[in-house]
Structure 1
Amino acid sequence: MLKWYKEAGQNNDVVISSRVRLARNLKDYSFSAKLSEKQASELVEKVKAATPLIEGQASMKFYSCSADVLGDTEKTAMVERHIISPLLVAKEQSTGLILSSDESISIMINEEDHIRIQSITGGMNIEEAFQAANKIDDITNEIFDFAFHEKYGYLTSCPTNVGTGLRASYMMFLPALTAAGKIIKLAEELGQYGIALRGTYGEASKSVGSLYQISNQKTLGSTEKEIMDSLDRIVWQVMKQERRQREYILTNNYDEFEDKVHRSYGVLKYAKQLSSADAMALLAQLKLGIDMNLIHLKENYNVHELMMEIQPGNLQCQLDKNVGSVQRDKYRADYIRKKLPEPV
């Protein structure tokens, strides 16, 4: 089964993926911050035990594990593929994970909340992501008694998630706005509408490869549809700004930018060593060039898939061993050379 990030979606020149996350807590347990280690371990095992029921009703293959016993490299690779959060990795308490075979649905256990259901799809399709997450939520609602208040809705560890417990987000590719130095101003403007612009891996992370997360900040007092509709309106405007800035580049700096794109391809194709940062910058340049028809490859190639595969954790998982940064840089360059199709 294809992983979600291997499938092309709508408007994928700018919108890489759509994600919905639902925060839920079990009524009979304290919030995660107040759990003892014994309670945390019990909670993880209780939720993991529901995997066969979720699998049967969702008609999908799921796997479950105790996330805290995974190796550091495997955890890093899962963060890179947006399966789990950096917070889950950093947590010292018992944690768990239930994951679909295509990695489009994950259930983090005992992260900030007891249960965080995440659904992710390629391209711009937040409704599809919501429907998938909502289906899992309906199934788990039948199994567990969630903390719910008639007036305030679902109760969560963080007050901003109280209500629907829904965080909707888009991963956006914004190289033209980044190059123009407009990201800080954009973040300020989005904040006025209750929308957050964050780095590639969420809160407190930096952007790599011009990838940013844009999401709602509050859930209380709004329905799921209102949250997603509001986010969609904002994302359409951001998409227009990015495309307008790309047109400006073509109009005013066509030859210079075309040369940069082809130089980036040349380095990617022939370099013997590439750091993660350098590779991401070059791949971002190449993806932008492909999207703007400045370079054509013999195959219809998904550059974002390669961006995920060449991250440190995923590279080491492919090698099936931990290696130092110099060896990773050599293997990364070799991997990219073999994967990149020839230009037309």
Structure 2
Amino acid sequence: MTACPRCATETTLLSAQGVAGCADCYRYLSHAVEQWLQQWSLPLRHEGEPLPETAHHLTAPPASIKPDAFWLHSLQPLQVIISSRTRYARNFVWARFPWCADSAELEQVRTRVERAARLSSWRFAISPTHRMKPSERQRWIDLRLASPPLRDNTLYGSLIVDEACAVSVLVNEEDHLRVQAILPGLQIRESIALARAALEALALQDELAFSDNYGWLTTSALNIGWGLRVSVMMYTPAIERMGQLQTVWQAAAELGGTIRGLYGEGTPASALFQVSNTHSIGIDEATVAAQVAGTAQFIAQAEQRAREQLLLTQARQLHEEVEQVYHNLGRERTLRAADALQMLSVVSLAAMAGWGHLTPEVWKEMLMAVRWEAPYDDAEWRAIRMRTLVRQVRNG
């Protein structure tokens, strides 16, 4: 049995899970990597070159930024394509991946990335997770600029956000470094350009693990290659109500996209979900962007058709259902996230049919109130918040 001489990750573990312990694993266990890629019918070679090096630039000290998100600013009620996100995953050559690194390595990773952010020409706010209040960490997750794994890494994690709150850098999450950009609507190419610019601004390229065979090396073999994940957040209450979600999702898969929950693998996917690429090895960035955009547009067209059909056949029923939702909220003391999303669908579709007055501000707060990934039970708070917001819509 072959094992990496540095971290002792065994070939059997790599071929079963698609993860390795360090950058050396991809060199010493290359045969196992190729077996794993073949298992998923993925290309065995990377196409493309690493990003060019970028010079360091001194800048003013980073400012403190309160939780906010650029993608929310222009959000409108009933918008089908909500946002576009690009994320690049990277790892240092001198440290093992976070899942098997020791405390000294994780601390060194955090210190190195935070220093790079301070030296960058960008104006970043740096927030180590151990200095953030639980409510602040959760708010960044609600805004999609942080993730549950980063929130839970209270010792060695760090969140770095640009002053526009469009770019965030997640340190010591699943990979050492995850740089993501989120823009409103369907702006995949623009989000790719922004995320690449932020990655270049950190000027860490010469320290990051890159293989001529596999591309950028990541904890999960599904992310090697460009280390690129492109996703579009979508809201399709009409398709869900018509019972067509699974059919539409299957058709989307045939177009090259995959469906994930709001916070990625393992989180619930319902009327609010992400469309993303399946892998980034053996495929260039432009093709990834085109596949995800085409899939999102296909789903958006299906949602528009479903909404038109609902307006013709169920307008009165929607008015009756939303009134029942309103009265039920007056009696409920707790509200689960899944139930809140169902109520959100009824309210939004009823508003489309002329019930109440749904403003952009109230709509944004409703989306934030769902809170799939709170670390504690938010059921009482959610019930109170949704009751207040639905009342505002009803009273106009």
TM-score range, shorter chain: 0.7 to 0.9
**What letter is aligned with 2:272?**
L
1:24–1:114 contact (8 Å) kept in structure 2 = yes
Deviations 1:81-134, CA, capped at 9 Å, x for gaps: 212222223447622211224432110011111110011112221122222111
* TM-fit CA distance, 1:70: 3.5
The more displaced of 142-151 and 103-112 is: 142-151
Higher Rg of the two aligned structures? 2
Identity of aligned residues (%): 24
2:89–2:228 contact (8 Å) kept in structure 1 = yes
1:273–1:329 contact (8 Å) kept in structure 2 = no
* TM-fit CA distance, 1:236: 0.8
For 1:12 and 1:22, locate their aligned partners in 2 and report how far apart those are by CA, in whole Å.
30
Instruction: Report the counterpart of residue 6 of structure 1 in structure 2.
Output: 72
1:73–1:313 contact (8 Å) kept in structure 2 = no
1:25–1:156 contact (8 Å) kept in structure 2 = yes
For 2:336 and 2:163, locate their aligned partners in 1 and report how far apart those are by CA, in whole Å.
27
Deviations 1:58-83, CA, capped at 9 Å, x for gaps: 3x4x2112224534443333222212
**What letter is aligned with 1:39?**
E
**What letter is aligned with 2:96?**
S
1:272–1:334 contact (8 Å) kept in structure 2 = no
Instruction: Report the counterpart of residue 171 of structure 2 in structure 1.
Output: 109
Instruction: Report the counterpart of residue 319 of structure 1 in structure 2.
Output: none
- Is there any run of 5+ residues in structure 2 with no aligned partner, and where? 1-65
**What letter is aligned with 2:276?**
S
The more displaced of 298-307 and 147-156 is: 298-307
Matching of residue 38 in structure 1 with residue 104 in structure 2: yes
The structure 1 residue matched to 2:233, chosen from 171, 175, 179, is 171
**What letter is aligned with 1:304?**
K
Deviations 1:128-157, CA, capped at 9 Å, x for gaps: 222211110111235752212234321111
The structure 2 residue matched to 1:52, chosen from 86, 101, 118, is 118
**What letter is aligned with 1:247?**
E
Matching of residue 131 in structure 1 with residue 193 in structure 2: yes
For 2:170 and 2:335, locate their aligned partners in 1 and report how far apart those are by CA, in whole Å.
30
Instruction: Report the counterpart of residue 223 of structure 1 in structure 2.
Output: 284
Instruction: Report the counterpart of residue 303 of structure 1 in structure 2.
Output: 363
Matching of residue 162 in structure 1 with residue 194 in structure 2: no
The Cα RMSD (Å) is 3.2
Instruction: Report the counterpart of residue 29 of structure 1 in structure 2.
Output: 95
1:272–1:330 contact (8 Å) kept in structure 2 = yes
For 1:265 and 1:226, locate their aligned partners in 2 and report how far apart those are by CA, in whole Å.
45
* TM-fit CA distance, 1:280: 3.2
Matching of residue 212 in structure 1 with residue 273 in structure 2: yes
Q: Say how many residue pairs are matched.
A: 329
- Is there any run of 5+ residues in structure 1 with no aligned partner, and where? 317-321
Matching of residue 74 in structure 1 with residue 136 in structure 2: yes
For 1:189 and 1:323, locate their aligned partners in 2 and report how far apart those are by CA, in whole Å.
35
Normalised to the residue count of structure 2, the TM-score between the two structures is: 0.72
